[in-house]
Amino acid sequence: MKLGIVGLPNVGKSTLFNAITNAGAQSANYPFCTIEPNVGVVAVPDARLDKLAEMYEPEKYTPATIEFVDIAGLVKGASKGEGLGNKFLANIREVDAVVHVVRCFENDDIVHVEGSIDPKRDIETIQLELILSDMEVLDRRIDKTTKLLKGDKKYQAELDFFARVREALDAGKPARSVECTPEEAELLSTVSLLTNKPVIYAANLSDTDFKDGSADGNPYFAAVKKIAEEEHAGVLPICAEIEAEISGMEPEEKELFLSEMGLEQSGLDRLITACYDLLGLISYLTAGKPEVRAWTIKKGTKAPQAAGKIHTDFERGFIRAEVVAFDDLIACGSMTAAKEKGLVRSEGKEYVMKDGDIVLNP
């Protein structure tokens, strides 16, 4: 999974990127400090994998990973090449989902590119540039569909749907806000629209507003939350400064710090969970002495396709897989005990994988 971190200059996106990846991206109080996208790969925290490692003492421990890309700050006119616009638009096309960092804190020492704090305006600034770019892409597709319609009337429904998406863009709304049937959603996915990408708004709060994990008293956060609801987007209150502070801590120290803040998870853990939910992803696990490993798949994936994540040969030659639920294995204490109780199942080609399923290493 590849997530692009975007936002206007000086909203805290590079600070957040540094904190969650420890990749050392530049962070400074001036626009365009980030020019080339910085990339950091982080392990997906999974306590289930840790338990399996204790049980098997494997030679190899391999968690699922997420790639974060810190993309250059955007300004007005990016769709026409202003600032680093062309570079921004090219980089954002390559990610699976967007983490849009929005500044929700006052600080006279950190310059805002627009001179004031206004999350709604900031979101609209970036959204407008993405919409303008999408209009060009969609217009080309509409032209192509119009030509096909002359020879085959079956393209009328497609053309009507694209016209509806174009109306939303004209109204300043992202493509993801358009209500779609499953068939229309699949059709929309064939057009490379930036505003159709899943988005999580990361509302960057001050540490004062963020304590106890509550952002309810912050009017800026309320504005971001309202926009997210209207767009079918995710929203996550976060404090980049706190994340920066805990990024270098030892696990015990970090746990104590979060506990004192009234938090159960770090911002990174919450962000990963939110992204998995947004993209409809789950993890299944493989366990054995050689390796314990987490594999990321889409909800609804059947066993052969899940096996194909390990190796394409496994999908082609799939017959059956031995599967046990994580909770059942832990309750039994060992795979042998789980088998004796009949909890290890032999699943065939139509089995739909569930989150936390453990598949015995082939």
Cβ neighbourhood burial of 339 (10 Å; 0-12, 13-18, 19+): middle
pLDDT in tens, the chain (362 residues): 888 888 887 888 888 888 877 744 444 333 333 334 577 888 888 899 999 999 999 999 998 888 888 876 565 554 455 444 455 677 778 888 999 999 998 877 665 666 678 999 999 988 888 898 899 899 999 999 999 988 788 889 999 999 999 999 999 999 998 999 999 999 999 998 989 999 999 999 988 887 755 677 789 999 999 999 988 889 999 988 888 888 878 888 988 988 887 788 888 888 888 888 888 999 999 988 899 999 999 999 999 999 998 888 888 889 899 999 999 999 999 989 999 999 999 999 999 999 999 998 65
Q: Rounded CA gap, 107 and 16, in Å?
A: 17
- Contact between 139 and 169 under an 8 Å Cβ cutoff? The reply is no
Residue 345, strand partner residues = 323
Rounded CA-CA distance 141/324 in Å is: 47
Give the separation between CA 92 and CA 112, rounded to whole angstroms. Answer: 22
Handedness of CA 70, 74, 80, 84 (dihedral sign): negative
Residue type, 79: S
What three-state secondary structure class fits 335? helix
Nearest to 201, CA basis, from 165, 230, 241: 230
- Write down the number of H helices and E strands in the chain: 15, 12
